[in-house]
A and B are shown apart, each in its own frame.
Chain A
């Protein structure tokens, strides 16, 4: 699995070509990405590393269709994203991607179950199926029995598990994780990383994770390092630890 990226015959799942992103205009313009080429293959576990301001989060947002490139091409399974409407992008986010954020981003005063059901509501899944699938997803992250709990009644690790369950409930192709352990203590962080690694190994879920922490990145098979809006290194780490 770790050598998936080396097989030239396999088509990339996500493909960036010459992607730039410029914030602001004129004198104040700032180029966050300066022409990125990046291919992510199915089943890969990629860590995107770099200092803050290196462009790694911007790249992640473009991969997740939360943001659009200023120039360059982005293809998902061979389909050009630049030409798609906002509504189609929303559907892609709903069906193809699952997001996990540093700050969990659960809806306040909304139960774990309801948070996990949200993507299914937007996908138009019936009430009964929503209930069933959300329960399954919560059970798969080890939160069976906590369906009624509100976010403020859960620990940080549990909240991130809810977020992971929400990301997985629509059976996406890619899990995009932005500093998933950033708000957690190191022990809970390791538990979350174990869960993410397990998803990659057992379900073959493609994972792209942004982090600035080398220890966390060590779980990933491939490291892409950003420096000042460009990729400074991209390589496999056969010794990736579990």
Chain B
């Protein structure tokens, strides 16, 4: 008996019991659609994190004082020799793979406007900061070289600070007090929103580093150096150049460890990728288990169906069906059930993933690979869980099957 005739037979048998066929394959539908949804959401989250890091600039390096730390989130050693603006300028000038280097020193401070006040993060920066971060004022202006030279009492603020302290009004040109320093708001940074990790990225005040050093910190130390490499491909080269330059400037001898640390955004991205990857795998495995449960559902109904149709099997055997024809018939039926469930599951999964992506503002891509895998797995499940009932059917003796009431 040829496969096309068997397939036609299987489709017919299934369409006779539409409701039952649908319920039987529901497990596979749910399994496949949840695998795809989990996969798509995981991919969306990963893409979101990468986007966020790329928005920081994937060619960005951060130089921290202190020795080697355990992980990308670990802090530098306390008491390590701080950098100077001279270091920052040297990096910008001498490292050929570096496009810009900015000094950043930060502290937490209470910003006051009239009756209102807000505890916020205050950063003293050199004007390269705006280029390194690829982030500029939305209104007013950025801090510039003139501000730095004159240690001007000018500041640029983030959206959250603006909203909180000035209500709905335009803060540009207004006064802002930081302790005893009264400065003028010259710019309002473009909004960045809340990061994936729940941190408000718009809650800060920027001052020229010179002003910060003289009026706030009381020293010329530079806490962090933010560097952008010429291109993403040259970040490793930039890192090596910075390391060698800083070792020289900080007079670290041959065998000694670095007392500073150059971090690469790609490293951070890799770690975040691993975290979201593990989460995705975990969720997808839970979904995969439901796929197996769906397979057991198919096996169960196929066994019932074999018993119900024992007489039909007897008739087929009596008029010349061979054991393999019967095996094929029931196996194809199970596979068609599972494949139909898989196809429906892929459809629902993609729609579901789209809905979730819309709801949580995640980037959405049609998960072609996951869909193909999930579909292939459901067909395999049809074969695996269809074999046992089909063999049971094929092993029936003609006369016993015919006599079955």
Contacts and interface: CB of A to CB of B under 8 A. Distances in A.
B321 to A, nearest CB: 5
B373 interface: no
Contacts of A86: 322-323
Given A105-B315, A107-B312, A109-B16, A124 B320 contact: no
B399 A67 contact: yes
Given A107-B312, A109-B16, A124-B2, A118 B399 contact: no
A107 B315 contact: yes
B399 A66 contact: yes
Contacts, number: 62
Interface in A86-124: 86-87, 90-91, 93-95, 99, 101, 105-109, 118-119, 121-124
B399 A123 contact: no
B210 to A, nearest CB: 91
Interface in A38-89: 61, 64, 66-67, 86-87
A197 interface: no
A166 interface: yes
Contacts of A90: 317, 320-323
Given A107-B312, A109-B16, A122 B1 contact: yes
B320 A94 contact: yes
A66 B319 contact: no
B324 to A, nearest CB: 8
A20 interface: no
B311 to A, nearest CB: 8
Interface centre among A99, A118, A122, A124 (most CB of B within 10 A): A122
Contacts of A87: 322-324
B258 interface: no
B318 A118 contact: no
Interface centre among B1, B2, B311, B321 (most CB of A within 10 A): B321
Contact of B1 (A99, A106, A107, A121): A121
A119 B319 contact: yes
A93 B398 CA distance: 11
Contacts of B314: 105
Interface string B1-40: 1100100000000001000000000000000000000000
A106 B323 CA distance: 20
Contacts of B1: 121-122, 124
Contacts of B321: 90, 94, 122
A166 B319 contact: yes
Ordered nearest first, which 7 A-B pairs have the shortest CB separation? Answer: A94-B320, A90-B322, A122-B320, A66-B399, A67-B399, A119-B319, A66-B398
26 contacts: A61-B399, A66-B318, A67-B398, A67-B399, A86-B322, A86-B323, A87-B322, A90-B323, A91-B320, A93-B319, A93-B398, A95-B320, A99-B318, A105-B315, A105-B402, A106-B315, A107-B315, A109-B16, A118-B319, A119-B320, A122-B1, A122-B316, A122-B319, A122-B321, A122-B322, A170-B320
Interface of A: 61, 64, 66-67, 86-87, 90-91, 93-95, 99, 101, 105-109, 118-119, 121-124, 166, 170
Given A86-B322, A106-B315, 18 more contacts: A64-B318, A66-B399, A66-B402, A87-B324, A90-B320, A90-B321, A90-B323, A91-B320, A99-B318, A105-B318, A109-B16, A119-B319, A119-B320, A122-B1, A122-B321, A122-B322, A124-B2, A166-B319
